[in-house]
């Protein structure tokens, strides 16, 4: 059985359509959707090596912070018939490490796989939007900092291990779940166009 976890990061606009969404899967059912699983996934964003703030500090200032309007994770038991009723928990993100943001579309891809690094056992999550702490300053081209890559790999390794339901790659085609065993993060940024701001103006040009 499989649990789908939707991480809903609220935009400071507080509009539902502006939320930034990531999806994770875990092996388990509704009985496993407890504070233990939520603590495990919340730690992915909040806690880094040596007790430092985790990868959440690299997220854009467009992401809502604070406890008065927290973000949310919704957990769904996929064995239940639709429409499924989620179990929801609040998610508080640490303060941003830089005051300036990269464009909303900019993200870093965390790739992972099950027992074999083949398409059906491979997954990815696009982390963003981001602030400039994620970008190497003064580089000849734009690259992801080693600190941010280290924060992601630390968080991913902790999510794949520890107690609670296993983090898995969910394959609908194979009707199977593959526990995550390894992964990687490149030093090149990715783009998630759907996270971009909606068009508010247009400049047209004539021929001749």
Q: Which pLDDT band, with edges at 50, 70 and 90, does 160 fall under?
A: very high
Dump pLDDT digits (tens) for 161-182: 988 899 999 998 888 999 999 9
Which residue would you say has higher pLDDT here, 29 or 99?
Answer: 99
Task: Tell me the domain boundaries of the chain.
Answer: 2-171+178-194
Dump pLDDT digits (tens) for 44-58: 999 998 888 899 999
Is residue 139 over pLDDT 70? no
Say what angle helices 35-46 and 146-160 make with each other, to 10 degrees: 170
Dump pLDDT digits (tens) for 182-199: 999 999 999 988 787 777
- pLDDT above 70 covers what percent of the chain? 98
Q: Which pLDDT band, with edges at 50, 70 and 90, does 140 fall under?
A: low
Is residue 138 over pLDDT 60? no
């Amino acid at each position: 059985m499989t649990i789908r976890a939707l991480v809903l990061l609220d935009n400071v606009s507080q509009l539902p359509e502006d939320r930034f969404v990531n999806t994770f899967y875990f092996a388990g059912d509704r009985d496993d959707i407890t504070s233990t699983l939520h603590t495990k996934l919340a730690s992915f964003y909040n806690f880094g090596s040596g007790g430092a703030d985790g990868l959440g500090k690299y997220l854009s200032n467009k992401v809502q912070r604070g406890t008065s309007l927290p973000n949310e994770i919704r957990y769904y038991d996929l064995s239940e018939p639709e429409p499924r009723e989620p179990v929801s928990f609040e998610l508080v993100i640490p303060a941003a490490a830089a005051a300036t943001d990269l464009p909303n579309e900019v993200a870093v891809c965390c790739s992972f796989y099950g027992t074999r690094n083949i398409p059906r056992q491979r997954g990815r999550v696009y982390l963003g939007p981001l602030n400039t702490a994620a970008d190497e300053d003064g580089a000849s081209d734009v690259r992801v900092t080693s600190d941010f890559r280290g924060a992601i790999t630390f968080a991913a390794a902790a999510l794949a291990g520890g107690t609670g339901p296993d983090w898995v790659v969910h394959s609908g085609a194979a009707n199977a779940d593959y526990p995550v065993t390894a992964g990687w993060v490149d030093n090149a940024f990715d783009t998630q166009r759907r996270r971009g701001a909606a068009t508010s103006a247009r400049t047209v040009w004539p021929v001749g």
